[in-house]
């Protein structure tokens, strides 16, 4: 039954039991009264649904701004990695240029010595050798020396020409790298400004979302609803995994129980089954925003998307019906379907999902049921 029909029923019943005099009123007056009743019903219905609609709108805004924020972080990381690579390439090219210039200087010095030797022999060295040598064997020896000297000079000239070409190519590459670095610097500045803008937008959306709750009980109820939605998604994932012709092979994760590395270093602010809401089935590890989150074991990424209450959520299937969940990520470093190994970066610590501070929510499931992650990760 709709809200409008639910509100209308008692009012219509009241009208049906009204005195006879009321029924005999002027028809236009009755219609006006009925219209007024209808407007009141509409107003009450709108007020009752306003909070839910506003909350849903705020959730959609939060998803949009946090998704864009994660994309901006990823773009910044990509640009910074490209800049580091370009800087390394530029350094190598400059070193290569210096070696080429040094080699060319050596070639010019050697060529100068050869030309000096030829100059000392005069303008027609072959004729002088022929006239001044009485011994034919000495003549042959000197002629061979002159031939080698000429060949060496030609090799020097060819080497210098190749070095000049290589230097020109190197200088061109350096100019191109520098131009790309200048472009990257501008783009990084733009992306940093965009990041600051979207961070401010997110702060406003989270504030508006908080204002939608009339009490802590309402907030808790909404968080529990988010957890139930996550449970449904997990069941769907498990059902899809069961249909696969080639399910995730065993990674022997069960044998590592109690010896798995921490996904991120930090202090636990919420224990297993300690806090109601979305964090009920796992632990919350406090860490600085942007800290790398790593896979605790080999597996395959089966989910990487924004989810209500969890923000950017990443799920890894480790085989043997064991899955790990990582929520509130700032960004993803892997994509669904990708294979990961123990220690691989899978994301960065963040506060997505409307959190007020950066932290990682970590959950372990076996056979679909949540189990205490602290029984699986190594003691510190």
Residue 108 has pLDDT above 80, yes or no: no
Q: What's the whole-number mean pLDDT along residues 10-29?
A: 49
Q: How do the residues of the chain divide into helix, strand and coil, expressed in percent and rounded to 5?
A: 60, 15, 25
Pick the CATH number of 69-209 from 1.10.10, 1.10.287, 2.60.120, 3.30.70: 1.10.287
Of all residues in the chain, the percent with pLDDT exceeding 90 is: 23
189 or 126, greater pLDDT: 189
* Structure tokens given for 119: 């100059």
Report the distance separating Cα 250 and Cα 238, nearest Å.
15
Report which of 344, 346, 347 is spatially closest to residue 329, judged by C-alpha positions: 347
Cut 0.85: pTM above it: no
Do 221-375 and 69-209 have the same topology in CATH? no
pLDDT tens per residue across span 76-96? 888 888 888 878 887 887 887
For residue 211, what pLDDT is reported? 62
243 or 74, greater pLDDT: 74
pLDDT tens per residue across span 330-341? 999 999 989 999
173 Cβ partners below 8 Å, 6+ apart?
A: 93
* Structure tokens given for 265: 């270093």
Sign of CA dihedral 169, 171, 177, 183: negative
For residue 155, what pLDDT is reported? 80
Sign of CA dihedral 352, 356, 359, 364: negative
Residue 12 has pLDDT above 50, yes or no: no
* Structure tokens given for 167: 């230097």
Least trusted range by pLDDT, from 54-63, 68-77, 226-235: 226-235
Q: What's the whole-number mean pLDDT along residues 1-7?
A: 45
| CATH class as words, domain 221-375 | mainly beta
Residue 154 has pLDDT above 80, yes or no: no
Residue 293 has pLDDT above 70, yes or no: yes
Residue 160 has pLDDT above 80, yes or no: no
- With tokens 């590890």, the residue in question is 285
DSSP state string for 62-99: HHHHHHHHHHHHHHHHHHHHHHHHHHHHHHHHHHHHHH
Strands 311-317 and 283-286 turn out to be unpaired
Residue 120's pLDDT band (cuts 50, 70, 90): low
Residue 361's pLDDT band (cuts 50, 70, 90): very high
Report which of 266, 276, 261 is spatially closest to residue 324, judged by C-alpha positions: 261
Q: What's the whole-number mean pLDDT along residues 235-249?
A: 67
Q: What ranges do the domains of the chain cover?
A: 3-65, 69-209, 221-375
For residue 264, what pLDDT is reported? 97
């Amino acid at each position: 039954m709709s809200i409008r029909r639910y509100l209308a029923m008692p009012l219509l019943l009241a009208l049906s039991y009204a005195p006879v005099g009321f029924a005999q009123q002027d028809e236009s007056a009755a219609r006006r009264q009925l219209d007024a009743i209808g407007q009141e019903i509409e107003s009450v219905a709108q007020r009752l649904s306003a909070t839910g609609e506003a909350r849903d709108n705020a959730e959609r805004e939060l998803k949009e701004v946090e998704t864009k924020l994660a994309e901006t972080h990823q773009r910044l990381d990509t640009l910074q990695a490209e800049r580091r690579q370009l800087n390394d390439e530029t350094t190598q090219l400059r070193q290569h240029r210096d070696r080429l210039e040094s080699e060319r200087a050596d070639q010019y010095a050697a060529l100068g010595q050869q030309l000096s030797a030829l100059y000392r022999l005069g303008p027609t060295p072959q004729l002088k050798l022929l006239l001044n040598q009485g011994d034919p064997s000495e003549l042959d020896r000197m002629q061979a020396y002159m031939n080698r000297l000429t060949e060496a000079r030609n090799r020097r000239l060819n080497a210098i020409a190749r070095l000049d070409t290589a230097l020109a190519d190197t200088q061109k590459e350096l100019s191109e790298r520098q131009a790309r670095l200048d472009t990257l610097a501008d783009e990084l500045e733009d992306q940093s400004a965009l990041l600051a803008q979207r961070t401010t937008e997110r702060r406003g959306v989270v504030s508006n979302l908080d204002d939608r709750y009339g009490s802590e009980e309402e907030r808790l109820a909404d968080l529990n609803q988010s957890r139930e939605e996550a449970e449904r998604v997990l069941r769907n994932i498990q059902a899809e995994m069961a249909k696969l012709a080639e399910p995730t092979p065993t990674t022997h994760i069960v044998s590592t129980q109690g010896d798995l590395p921490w996904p991120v270093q930090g202090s636990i602010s919420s224990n297993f089954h300690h806090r109601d809401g979305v964090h009920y089935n796992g632990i919350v590890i406090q860490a600085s925003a942007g800290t790398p989150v790593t896979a605790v074991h080999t597996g395959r990424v089966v989910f990487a998307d924004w989810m209500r209450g969890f923000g950017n959520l990443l799920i890894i299937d480790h085989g043997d019906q064991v899955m790990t969940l990582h929520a509130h990520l700032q960004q993803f470093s892997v994509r669904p379907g990708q294979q990961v190994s123990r220690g691989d970066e899978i994301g960065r610590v963040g506060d997505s999902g409307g959190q007020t501070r950066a932290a990682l929510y970590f959950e372990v499931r076996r056979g679909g049921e949540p189990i205490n992650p602290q029984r699986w990760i190594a003691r510190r």
